[in-house]
């Protein structure tokens, strides 16, 4: 029971990280209709910048404060200089160009920071653990990650529900032509949305820094999970991204933790662990396949 | 046509030429190019001709390679591949094993294709990518066959009349396979089937209004491409005598896609040129700098923005889809 | 008039609050040329889309020869003898003109799981290709890419593709829109010639053309039928004048 609770929190933590990545990317897909493989690169850039600044200044908060605007700025620069030219091209050109972007950013980080991974320490004031339920200590930092993720979700919800820019973005996501007809400055809106997306990706990267190794290519593995989330949630839907992210986070974490236990009930230990590991690693993709059969456009599609 | 004949002649004489120059080790690179050309052409069948942008093609390449590696491994061990529900012995005869690799890849392509083709556009790209990544993780977790570290072959497969451990023999075999596949693909794209595939790329709704159940034709195209990629995988396993999950990683799918687009999609010889250019460039640039990707990345962006028809388009001045 | 070939019963399609087609019932007889007219947004194209299978209705039924085809998918309806042209030209821009027509012919000459023989030189397909090219006057452009055609030629090709399907019922969605006067006359002649051979359902804004071509006319407003009748009946109908002709000058 204790283990279940801990794993639930782990699942939640993976879930909110995925939400930060997918919320921005699903908007970029939905509004600009551009397939962007390089979203993981901004996650990586966020982590690298934060790790570097933190190492120099000793302050995690300062690292965070520098990393977020830097990531958003690089994102907007990429949008204005390159991505903008791809909106009216075919998907395959977008794939090629953003794949090139990944190569470029990965190699650039290798040149600047070398091939060795960087490690970020958990800031002192977030180290240690808290007993949410008596007897079950859980690392404070991970709780903070969950808290920040949920706060961002709340912030996005309020922004979309109540602010002018939020409504413009929603209008853009559900009907591009309509948004343009309403006199919304589409060019500026696109740049802003891209900046917002990369900022969130950067935030996810910064928060993952103390948990994972910061290294070139770290964005690619999480990118695929992000795609799975978006496919499950429905392209262009932030609510879908939230549901999808939590679902993927939970299923992946719980599957890895508990599948071996279930398999051991039936099979001998060695076979059970091997089989469980294989199936656990495929679980979220099977989930995605099941949802695709059931609802090909995702759980909460933006364009109905 | 003249170009084609001279290129064929050059490829046929390549081992002899390299022998004169004393650069025999380059034969291995040439074989590698031919194998990647095969997988690139197969991707182009669905991408350039069928309009299906798959970012998971390396999965079928990797499966073909793993089928060969696993059976060859067991054949050397003398242990069975499966002992339950029936006994399946190891194999190392290419004439049985390679068709088996093709079959397994085709089967997998049928399953993945049937699911992915329920969608199109961005969804299709992400879903093919995700399924390929699923297979990647499956093989990473497969400790029995080396997991992350991959699996080595003790020797290349047996092929009647040829000694595959001889690089020149292996080269000619790869050349023959590519040549036959190009011929098949050439006939395919202008056949009735090819017409349907190209029509679906241009305007799928219209195809349905004309009375074509496009789904099954696209699926068939997906399966054919997957099967050919499986054959290429069988060849690459023999070529490097080593397989690893990295073959299926999505970035590897990306590399194959880059070869197609670099050479020129929607053409048959474009992907061949693309594979050759990419691999030679990689080889040459790696001599001067370990950071060659820093230059390749922006180059790809430029190709995407300005050179839609790739090297083939630049060389011939033709647009795509002229077979 | 003879038996109804197409029978529409209580057909409904709403897009959110927009009632593009509301409890619509209509019978179209074998051999007649039936025109759908109405102001913009009346649901003419929606009705055509529902009949051809491009859209699925929310409710109601469609019968062809007393067979319920409401749930029959788009591609299958073509084999039952329904063919159409689209308002926004829908061709295969990267294929040549003859390949465009060839596909339409190929669609009804057996399955296309044939991988080896060149389709363009297949005598079975070729036989129908020549008359199909001739019918729409595009022989001289057979080898050109469809994308390179002029707007009028694309429209002709589009109608040619629908005809190459050998349909029993032909749906034409504004075939004359955007054509010069000369092109309209040509196309009008083509359609007049087809009247003897097949049933035609026509959506068109050119009222003159409709009154000269159509046997019967249905006037739609807001997804509902105002009146159905012959050209003379429509001309003299007060309801039509109020709902349509008097209100808005058709373009």
We report the CATH number of the domain holding residue C235 as 3.40.50.300
Number of domains in chain C: 2
Helix, strand, coil in percent for chain C, rounding step 5: 35, 25, 35
HSE-up of C234 (CA within 13 Å, CB side)? 27
pLDDT tens track for B206-241: 999 999 999 999 999 999 999 999 999 999 999 999
CB contact under 8 A, B301 and A288: no
What is the overall mean pLDDT for chain A? Answer: 89
Closest CA to B4 of B190, B268, B265, B322: B268
Burial of B200 (0-12, 13-18, 19+ CB in 10 A): buried
**Model confidence band, residue B68 (pLDDT cutoffs 50, 70, 90):** very high
| Residue bearing the bigger pLDDT, B302 or A171 | B302
Q: Does B309 touch chain C (CB under 8 A)?
A: no
Query: Between B118, B254, B291, which is nearest A292 by CB?
Result: B118
DSSP-derived pairing of the beta strands C18-29 and C4-15: antiparallel
In angstroms, the Cα distances linking B183 to B41, B45, B189, C115 are: 11, 13, 10, 12
Q: How far is A90 from chain B (nearest CA, A)?
A: 9
Tell me whether residue B23 is in a domain. Answer: no
Segments making up each domain of chain A, as ranges: 2-294
Say how many C-beta atoms besides its own lie within 10 A of residue A9's C-beta.
Answer: 18
pLDDT in tens for each of the 251 residues of chain C?
457 899 999 999 998 888 888 889 999 999 899 999 888 888 899 999 999 999 999 999 999 998 999 999 999 999 999 999 998 889 999 999 999 999 999 999 888 999 988 998 899 999 999 999 998 889 999 999 999 998 888 988 999 999 999 899 999 998 887 777 777 888 888 888 888 889 999 998 888 888 888 999 999 888 888 888 888 888 887 777 766 655 544 44
- The pLDDT value recorded for residue B1 is 75
Q: State the residue range of the domain holding B61.
A: 29-316
Peptide bond into B76 cis (omega under 30): no
Query: Into how many domains does chain B fold?
Result: 1
pLDDT at C251: 41
User: Which residue in A22, A107, A270 has the most chain B C-beta atoms within 10 A of its own C-beta, making it the best mutation to test that interface?
Assistant: A107
- Chain B CB contacts of A289 under 8 Å are 115, 131
pLDDT at res. C244: 62
Per-residue pLDDT band at B318 (split at 50, 70, 90): low
**Rounded CA gap, A187 and A87, in Å?**
11
CA angle B184, B188, B192 (to 5 degrees): 155
Contacts with B57 from chain A: Cβ below 8 Å = none
Q: Domain range holding C99? A: 92-166
On whether both C191 and C155 belong to a single domain, the answer is no
Q: Is B310 a domain residue? A: yes
SS3 of residue A36 by DSSP: coil
**B86 — pLDDT class (breaks 50, 70, 90):** confident
For residue A301, what pLDDT is reported? 82
Q: Work out the end-to-end distance of chain B between its first and last CA atoms, rounded to an integer number of angstroms.
A: 12
Helix boundaries (H) for C59-172: 74-79, 97-106, 123-135, 151-164
Residue C1 lies in a domain: yes
The C-alpha angle C63, C65, C66, rounded to 5 degrees, equals: 55
| CB contact burial A81-113 (16+ within 10 A = b; e otherwise) | ebbbebeeebbbbbbbbbbbbbbbbbbbbbeeb
Residues on chain C bordering chain B, Cβ-to-Cβ distance under 8 angstroms: 52-54, 73-79, 83-84, 86, 90-95, 99, 102-104, 106-108, 112-120, 122, 161, 165
Pick the CATH number of A2-294 from 2.50.20, 1.10.150, 1.10.3470, 3.40.50: 1.10.3470
User: How many beta carbons lie within 10 A of that of residue C173, not counting itself?
Assistant: 22
Q: How far apart are CA B165 and CA B170, in angstroms?
A: 7
The residue of chain B nearest to residue C146, with distances taken between CA atoms, is B202
C176 with C111, same domain: the answer is no
Q: What pLDDT was estimated at residue C243?
A: 65
Cα–Cα separations (whole angstroms), residue C155 to B82, C5, C34, C151, C177? 61, 27, 20, 6, 9
Residues of B with a Cβ under 8 Å from any A Cβ are 47, 53, 55, 115, 118-119, 121-123, 125-127, 129-131, 133-134, 137-138, 140-144, 250-251, 254, 257-258, 261, 265, 291, 293-294, 296-301, 303-305, 308
Residue C139 lies in a domain: yes
Of A106, A227, A281, the CB nearest to B129: A227
Burial of A16 (0-12, 13-18, 19+ CB in 10 A): buried
Nearest of C77, C44, C61 to residue C8 by alpha carbon: C61
C176-198 as b/e: b if 16+ CB within 10 A: bbebeeebbebbbebbeebeeeb
Please report the pLDDT score of residue B27 as a whole number.
92
Q: How many CB atoms lie within 10 A of CB A248?
A: 27
Element (H, E) at B243: strand B242-243
CA distance A226 to A241: 9
Instruction: Return d(Cα A298, Cα A229) in angstroms, integer.
Output: 9
Which among C114, C137, C166 is the end of a domain? C166
Flag the least confident range among B251-255, B293-297, C207-211. Answer: C207-211
Please compute the mean of the pLDDT values over residues A24-50 and round it to a whole number.
92
Which residue of A89, A271, A285, A291 to mutate against B (max B Cβ within 10 Å)? A285
Residue C178 CA to residue C152 CA, distance in Å, equals 8
Per-residue pLDDT at B30 exceeds 90: yes
- The answer to whether the CB of B55 falls within 8 A of the CB of B250 is yes
Residue C232 to residues A130, C42, C228, Cα–Cα distance (Å): 87, 22, 11
Answer yes or no: is pLDDT of B108 > 60: yes
What φ, ψ does residue C60 adopt, rounded to 5°? 100, 175
Question: For position C186, what pLDDT does the model report?
Answer: 80
pLDDT of residue B292: 86
| B contacts of C122 (beta carbons < 8 Å) | 192
User: Three-state SS for A88?
Assistant: coil
Burial of B159 (0-12, 13-18, 19+ CB in 10 A): middle
Q: How far is CA C90 from CA A130, A230, B159, in A?
A: 64, 31, 51
Beta strands in chain C (DSSP E): 4-15, 18-29, 33-37, 59-64, 67-68, 82-85, 169-173, 199-203, 216-221, 224-229
B158–chain C nearest CA distance, Å: 31
C40 in any annotated domain: yes
The answer to whether residues C138 and C128 belong to one domain is yes
From C166, C190, C208, the end of a domain falls on C166
pLDDT at B159: 92
User: How far is residue C142 from each of residues A113, A238, B311, C154, measured CA to CA in Å?
Assistant: 60, 49, 29, 12
The rounded distance, in Å, linking the Cα atoms of B131 and B109 is 10
User: How far is A137 from A3, CA to CA, in rounded Å?
Assistant: 11
Look at B203 and C108 and tell me if their CB atoms are within 8 Å: no
**For position B320, what pLDDT does the model report?**
45
Q: Is residue C153 in a domain?
A: yes
| Domain assignment present for B77 | yes
Least-confidence region, from A203-207, B76-80, C10-14: B76-80
- C119 in any annotated domain: yes
Q: What is the mean pLDDT of residues A61-84?
A: 94
Question: In chain A, what are the helix, strand and coil shares in percent, each to the nearest 5?
Answer: 80, 5, 20
- Alpha-carbon distance of C102 to C118, in angstroms, equals 12
Average pLDDT of A285-300? 88
d(CA A242, CA A23): 7
- Both C142 and C25 in a single domain? no
Please provide the DSSP assignment of B109-175 as one string: HHHHHHHHTTS-HHHHHHHHHHHHHHHHHHHHT-GGGTGGG-EE-SSPPBBTTB-TTSHHHHHHHHH
B195 touches chain C (CB under 8 A): yes
- Please answer whether residues C227 and C240 qualify as being in contact, where contact means their C-beta atoms are separated by less than 8 angstroms: yes
Supply the pLDDT for residue B288: 87
| pLDDT on residue A54 | 92
pTM confidence score = 0.91
Give mean pLDDT, residues B294-299.
Answer: 90
pLDDT of residue A122: 86
Residue range B318-323: mean pLDDT, rounded: 47
B67/B50 Cα distance (integer angstroms): 27
Among the listed residues C182, C43, C154, C185, the one whose alpha carbon sits nearest the alpha carbon of residue C89: C154
Distance CA A275, CA C188 (A): 70
pLDDT tops 50 at residue A2: yes
Residue B22 lies in a domain: no
Give the percent of chain B with pLDDT over 70. 98
C176 lies in some domain: yes
User: Which pLDDT score, from 0 to 100, does residue C245 have?
Assistant: 55
Q: Mind telling me how many Å the CA of B267 is from chain A's nearest CA? A: 15
For residues C157 and C97, is the Cβ–Cβ distance under 8 A? yes
The 10s digit of each residue's pLDDT in A140-181 is 999 999 999 999 999 999 998 888 888 888 777 667 677 777
Q: Is A1 a residue whose pLDDT tops 70? A: no
Which pLDDT does position B222 carry in this prediction?
98
């Amino acid at each position: 029971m204790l283990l279940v609770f801990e794993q639930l929190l782990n699942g939640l933590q993976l879930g909110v990280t995925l939400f930060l990545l997918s919320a921005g990317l699903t908007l970029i897909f939905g509004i600009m209709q551009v397939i962007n493989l390089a979203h993981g690169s901004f996650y990586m850039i966020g982590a690298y910048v934060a790790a570097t600044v933190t190492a120099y200044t000793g302050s995690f908060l300062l690292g965070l404060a520098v990393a977020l605007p830097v990531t958003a700025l690089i994102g907007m620069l990429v949008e204005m200089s390159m991505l903008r030219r791809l909106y009216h091209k075919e998907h395959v050109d977008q794939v090629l160009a953003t794949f090139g972007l990944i190569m470029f950013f990965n190699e650039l980080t290798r040149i600047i920071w070398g091939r060795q991974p960087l490690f970020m320490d958990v800031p002192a004031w977030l180290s240690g653990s808290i007993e949410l339920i008596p007897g079950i200590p859980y690392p404070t930092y991970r709780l903070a990650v969950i808290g920040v993720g949920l706060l961002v979700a709340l912030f996005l919800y309020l922004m979309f529900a109540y602010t002018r820019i939020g409504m413009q973005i929603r209008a853009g996501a559900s009907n591009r032509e309509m948004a343009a007809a309403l006199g919304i400055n589409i060019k500026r809106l696109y740049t802003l949305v891209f900046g917002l997306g990369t900022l969130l990706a950067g935030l996810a990267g910064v928060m993952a820094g103390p948990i994972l190794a910061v290294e070139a290519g770290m964005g690619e593995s999480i990118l695929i999970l992000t795609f799975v989330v978006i496919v499950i949630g429905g392209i262009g839907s932030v609510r879908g991204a939230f549901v999808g992210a939590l679902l993927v986070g939970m299923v992946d974490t719980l599957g890895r933790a508990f599948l071996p236990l279930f398999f051991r009930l039936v099979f001998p230990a060695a076979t059970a662990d091997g089989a469980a590991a294989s199936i656990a690693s495929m679980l979220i993709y099977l989930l995605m396949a099941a949802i695709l059969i059931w609802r090909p456009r995702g759980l909460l599609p933006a364009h109905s | 046509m003249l170009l084609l004949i001279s290129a064929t002649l050059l490829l046929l004489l390549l081992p002899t030429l390299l022998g004169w120059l004393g650069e025999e080790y380059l034969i291995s690179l040439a074989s590698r190019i031919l194998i990647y050309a095969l997988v690139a052409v197969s991707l182009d069948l669905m991408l350039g001709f069928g309009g299906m942008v798959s970012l998971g093609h390396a999965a079928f390449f990797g499966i073909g390679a793993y089928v060969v590696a696993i059976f060859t491994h067991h054949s050397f061990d003398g242990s069975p591949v499966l002992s339950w529900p029936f006994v399946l012995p190891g194999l190392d005869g290419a004439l049985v094993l390679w068709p088996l690799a093709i079959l397994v890849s085709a089967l997998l392509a049928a399953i993945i294709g049937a699911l992915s083709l329920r969608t199109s556009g961005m969804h299709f790209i992400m879903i093919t990518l995700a399924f390929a990544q699923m297979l990647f993780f499956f093989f990473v977790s497969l400790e029995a066959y080396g997991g992350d570290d991959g699996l080595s072959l003790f020797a290349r497969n047996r092929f009647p009349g040829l000694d595959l451990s001889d690089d020149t023999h292996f080269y000619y075999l790869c050349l023959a396979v590519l040549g036959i596949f190009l011929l098949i693909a050439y006939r395919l794209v202008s056949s009735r089937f090819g017409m349907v595939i190209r029509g679906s790329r241009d305007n799928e709704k219209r195809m349905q209004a004309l009375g074509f159940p496009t789904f099954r034709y696209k699926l068939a195209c997906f399966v054919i491409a997957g099967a050919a990629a499986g054959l290429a995988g069988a060849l690459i396993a023999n070529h490097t005598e080593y397989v690893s999950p990295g073959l299926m990683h999505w970035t590897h799918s990306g590399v194959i896609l880059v070869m197609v687009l670099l050479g020129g999609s929607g053409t048959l010889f474009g992907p061949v040129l693309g594979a050759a250019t990419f691999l030679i460039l990689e080889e040459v640039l790696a001599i001067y700098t370990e950071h060659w990707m820093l230059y390749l990345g922006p180059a790809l962006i430029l190709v995407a923005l300005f050179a839609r028809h790739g090297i083939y388009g630049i060389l011939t001045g033709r647009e795509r889809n002229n077979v | 008039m003879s038996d109804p070939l197409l029978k529409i019963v209580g057909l409904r399609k709403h897009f959110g609050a927009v009632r593009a087609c509301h409890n619509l019932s209509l019978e179209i007889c074998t051999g007649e040329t039936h025109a759908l007219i109405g102001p913009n947004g009346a649901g003419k194209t929606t009705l055509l889309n529902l009949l051809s299978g491009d859209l699925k209705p929310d409710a109601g039924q469609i019968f062809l020869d007393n067979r319920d085809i409401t749930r029959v998918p788009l591609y299958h309806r073509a084999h039952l003898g329904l063919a159409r042209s689209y308002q926004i030209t829908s061709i295969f821009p990267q294929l040549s003109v003859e390949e465009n027509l060839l596909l339409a012919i190929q669609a009804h000459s057996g399955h296309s799981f044939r991988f080896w023989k060149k389709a363009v030189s297949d005598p079975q397909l070729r036989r129908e290709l020549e008359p199909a090219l001739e019918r729409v006057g595009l022989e001289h452009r057979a080898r050109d890419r469809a994308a390179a055609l002029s707007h009028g030629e694309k429209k002709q090709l589009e109608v040619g593709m629908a005809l190459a399907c050998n349909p029993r019922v032909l749906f034409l969605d504004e075939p004359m829109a955007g054509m010069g006067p000369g092109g309209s006359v040509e196309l009008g002649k083509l359609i007049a010639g087809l009247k003897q051979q097949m049933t035609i359902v026509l959506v068109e804004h050119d009222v003159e053309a409709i009154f000269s071509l159509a046997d019967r006319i249905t006037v739609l407003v807001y997804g509902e039928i105002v009146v159905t009748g012959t050209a003379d009946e429509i001309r003299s109908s007060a309801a039509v004048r109020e709902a349509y002709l008097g209100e808005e000058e058709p373009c």
